Structure 1
Amino acid sequence: MKPALPLLTFLALSAPGSALAHPHIFAEARLEVIAADDGTVSELRNIWRFDEVFSSSVLLDFDKNTDLKLDEEELAELGQVMHASLADFDYFTTVTVDGQDAPIMKPDAIHVSYEDNQILVFFAVRTEKSLPLKGKLAVGVYDPSMYTAIDFPTDGDLVAQGKGAEACKRQVVRPDPDEIIAQNNETLTEAFFDDPSGNDMSKLFATRLELTC
């Protein structure tokens, strides 16, 4: 039975629910918060590079002509599947303004390439409402099901660009999972970690970029 996993449900053939507490897919990421001249956030740009094991599984599933590479049509199909499968999980993106959630819209498209035996994914999202650079803005990237580990290798992989962001203080926050579990031990029960659909509280674990403006 296929579990309801974010990102690529179509590749998860059979996994017990208890396994979802640990990541099985790994990706290195970059996040760019693009600020417009009017003092709002115009878009959030994401770049993900997936591990070679997962990427090889994708190659096997989408290489329709069995030439051991992904052509433009095969990459386009992969992007479409990702676009659909990530929708229920907000494309792993959480945005808050002064602690209040700011829902995001679907990206226009997800672009995919296959380089050096790894899948690269590129897309940009926007919030449903205008997002002024005022107060405390936090942007995190995290898989709520914990099946995919999104890692930012350096703090320089989370950036804010544009004139509108120049007056904001930038901070990269990397939460300690042990501290979070200790602080929320009554809420983060076994049921939380075994829920394949994820949980809103999973954003507590997300590496995030905080802008104080």
Structure 2
Amino acid sequence: MRKALPLLLGLTVLAPGLAFAHPHIFAEARLEVVGGADGNIAELRNVWRFDEIFSSSVLMDFDKNTNLKLDPDELAEVGKTVLESLADFNYYTTITEDGKTIAVARPDVINVDYQDGQLLMFFAVKPSTAMPIKGKLTFGVYDPTMYAAMDFASDDDLVAIGDPFKACKRAVVRPDPDEVLAQNQASLTDAFFNDPTGTDMSKLFATRLELTC
């Protein structure tokens, strides 16, 4: 696989000895949770805008005709590569229903664009099982390897859309890193910092949308 996409996926490192325990790729994210007329979660719509350094590396790897831009077929190849590779990471999507983790189904396509020197990805995922809009529901986007930092610049970038949510209480939770570290000291061993892919610690730091319905 080309070098750029594994950076996003956390599957490889740039050089021997490079630590996984802090991000090397940065993306601004938007997440729209859509409620269906049947009272279930219909889909989660994602928009990711990546930093210019990572975006330029993708350009170099996928610009086959070297015209310094990504043509439609090249953008489609990026989307196809990410679609295949992110399956092992639940498409960076985390959903819980009353504390139970819910996986997501494979999206039909990951749409990709390249604007003003930045790579953008647009796609929707659905819960793998029917998910009624009731109880305590949480939704977020994070990289379990901690290699990519998915940032919601504003609380308005985490939204719930649809009439079924009118009876729900909405909150955007941004965990305090110091509190997370203090509460999980026993888990922060040398083994974790050497191989955080074997843990789920990054979930504790991730911004999330909480709905109580």
**TM-score tier (shorter):** over 0.9
Q: Segments of 4+ in structure 1 off by > 2 A?
A: 5-17, 196-202
Residue 57 of structure 2 corresponds to residue 57 of structure 1: yes
Question: Residue 7 of structure 1 aligns with which residue?
Answer: 8
Distance 1:196 1:77 in 2: 29
Question: Residue 139 of structure 1 aligns with which residue?
Answer: 139
Question: Residue 173 of structure 1 aligns with which residue?
Answer: 173
User: TM-score under structure 2 normalisation?
Assistant: 0.93
Contact 1:6 1:85 in 2 (8 A): no
Amino acid in the other structure paired with 1:168: C
Structure 2 CA distance for partners of 1:39 and 1:167, relative to 1, 3 Å: same
After TM superposition, give the deviation of residue 34 of structure 1 in Å: 0.3
Contact 1:175 1:206 in 2 (8 A): yes
Question: Residue 129 of structure 2 aligns with which residue?
Answer: 129
Question: Residue 112 of structure 1 aligns with which residue?
Answer: 112
Structure 2 CA distance for partners of 1:108 and 1:148, relative to 1, 3 Å: same
Distance 1:117 1:174 in 2: 29
Amino acid in the other structure paired with 2:135: G
Distance 2:34 2:66 in 1: 39
Kindly provide the CA deviation profile for residues 184-206 of structure 1, in whole angstroms up to 9, marking residues without a partner as x.
10012232233263523321111
Moved more, 61-70 or 184-193: 184-193
Distance 1:42 1:122 in 2: 16
Q: How does 1:5-154 map to 2 (within 5 A)?
A: 7-8=8-9, 12-17=13-18, 19-154=19-154
- What runs of 5+ residues in structure 1 fail to find an aligned partner? none
Amino acid in the other structure paired with 2:108: D
Kindly provide the CA deviation profile for residues 169-196 of structure 1, in whole angstroms up to 9, marking residues without a partner as x.
1100001122111101001223223326
Matched residue pairs, number?
Answer: 210
Percent identity of equivalent pairs: 63
- What runs of 5+ residues in structure 2 fail to find an aligned partner? none
Report the secondary structure of 1:167's partner residue.
Answer: coil
Structure 2 CA distance for partners of 1:198 and 1:44, relative to 1, 3 Å: farther
Amino acid in the other structure paired with 1:52: E
Report the secondary structure of 1:106's partner residue.
Answer: coil
Contact 2:110 2:123 in 1 (8 A): yes
Structure 2 CA distance for partners of 1:108 and 1:159, relative to 1, 3 Å: same
Report the secondary structure of 2:95's partner residue.
Answer: strand
Structure 2 CA distance for partners of 1:123 and 1:88, relative to 1, 3 Å: same
